[in-house]
Amino acid sequence: MSFRAILITKTEQGQKAELTRLEESELMEGDVTVDVTHSSVNYKDGLAITGTSPIARRFPLIPGIDFAGVVRSSSNPRWKAGDQVVLNGYGVGEGHHGGFSEVARVNGDWLVPVPHGWTAADCMSVGVAGYTAMLCVMALEEQGVKPSDGDVLVTGAAGGVGTTAIVILAKLGYRVIASTGRVSEEPFLKSLGAAGVVDRNEFNGPVKPLAKSRWAACIDSVGSVTLANILSQMNPDGTVAACGLAQGMDLPTTVAPFILRGVKLIGINSVATPMPRRLQVWARLQKDLDLAKLHALTTHVSLDQVPQVAADIVAGKVKGRVVVDIRQG
């Protein structure tokens, strides 16, 4: 039985991604086969599809680092046909065929159940980005960051991680300041719960070892000079949760923020989160994420639109979350 999927191939002329039809025999090994109903387009998907960064570790590859759907068949004792499941991480869409496909075959130990009362579309409105945002929020909480401590900065605020982080933090009572290069999105960001908006260029200048302290905490998806400047501006004992590298992998900072202000830099790895923690994150999302606001920042596209959306997300033209309705079109 054939199915539709986005496939990345590589030749001497470079790589390309296009919608094609595959046979189930072309899927990779796994003990659970899922009929995928929804996926989402994340920044990492954009990098993989456009070839901007070497995210894809094998060719040909079905990209898509998350998906949700219904179990068709399973030899894994955790799952049976008809179960609703969601997956993100574990190298899916990087080294293992991913979610931009009508069918996926994966290790059943990578799957979690769709939260009670939620749909597959809800889960993909969250997706890797929202899941990562909640990991960041939990990391701040575990370092003792409280709403009364002061402003929490969210960088890349119009993107998937940023928008979801704003919604969660605002609901929890934090005063959120959104950093974005798209200041025209200020009304949108404030509608999500941001108390203020700052231009990302404020964090693009020369990095001082220490600057005036401004932030009790930060969720950063940008990295590079932006993160270095933010570290220099943290309040004493402030915490930064770092989860992305949209500006770059480098970090041109000094030890000054760490040894003179006690600043903490916490790395967030959403790919290899242990299953107990993974289940905690989804439970927190179900409890602390306003689905109505999540839906307001989500757009829906069809599978054939994914390559263009991927290019747009790398170019910084996409705001909020993009859900792929796999069966549409």
pLDDT for position 257: 98
Q: What is the pLDDT of residue 91?
A: 95
Q: Is the pLDDT of residue 12 over 90?
A: no
The whole-angstrom separation of Cα 100 and Cα 82 is 20
Quote the pLDDT of residue 30: 98
pLDDT band at 13 (very low <50, low <70, confident <90, very high): confident
pTM of structure:
0.94
The answer to whether residues 294 and 167 touch, using CB atoms and an 8 Å cutoff, is yes
pLDDT, tens only, 219-259? 999 999 999 999 999 999 999 999 999 999 999 999 999 99
Q: Among candidates 160, 92, 40, 113, which has minimal Cα distance to 279? A: 113
Whether the pLDDT of residue 24 is over 90: the answer is yes
- Rounded Cα distance between 205 and 192, Å, is 28
* Strand, coil or helix: 209: coil
Average pLDDT over residues 167-178: 98
pLDDT at 11 over 90: no
Cα R_g (the chain), whole angstroms: 20
Q: Is the pLDDT of residue 329 over 80?
A: no
CA diameter of the chain: 63
Burial of 72 (0-12, 13-18, 19+ CB in 10 A): middle
Question: CA dist 273 to 77, 260, 276, 293, Å?
Answer: 21, 31, 8, 26
- The larger pLDDT score, comparing residue 71 to residue 329, is at 71
Mean pLDDT, the chain, whole residue set: 96
In DSSP terms, which residues pair with 48 in a beta bridge? none
CA distance 121 to 308: 21
Asked whether residue 213 carries a pLDDT value surpassing 90, the answer given is yes
- Top pLDDT among 53 and 208 is at 208
Residue 183 pLDDT: 86
Contacts of 6 (CB under 8 A, 6+ apart): 17, 18, 19, 20, 49, 62, 63, 64, 100, 101, 303, 306, 307
β-sheet bridge partners, residue 17: 8
Q: What is the pLDDT of residues 276-323, one digit of tens each?
A: 999 999 999 999 999 999 999 999 999 999 999 999 999 989 999 999
Rounded mean pLDDT, 6-26: 93
DSSP, residue by residue, 101-136: BSEEEE-GGG-EEPPTT--HHHHHHHHHHHHHHHHH
Distance CA 63, CA 196 (A): 36
What the chain holds in terms of domains, given with CATH numbers, is: 2-114+297-325 (3.90.180.10), 127-267 (3.40.50.720)
The encoded tokens of residue 49 equal: 């599809």
Asked whether the beta carbons of 139 and 266 are under 8 A apart, the reply is: yes
Q: Above 90 in pLDDT, residue 272?
A: yes
pLDDT in tens, 124-154: 999 999 999 999 999 999 999 999 999 999 9
Cβ neighbours of residue 222 closer than 8 Å, sequence gap 6 or more: 155, 156, 200, 203, 244, 245, 246, 247
Decide: 112 and 282 in contact? Cβ < 8 Å.
yes
Question: For 31-81, how does the pLDDT look when each residue is reduced to its tens digit (9 = 90+)?
Answer: 999 999 999 999 999 999 999 988 999 999 999 999 999 999 999 999 999
Q: Tell me which residue has tokens 């940023």.
A: 162
pLDDT over 80 at 274, yes or no: yes
Q: What is the pLDDT of residue 1?
A: 83
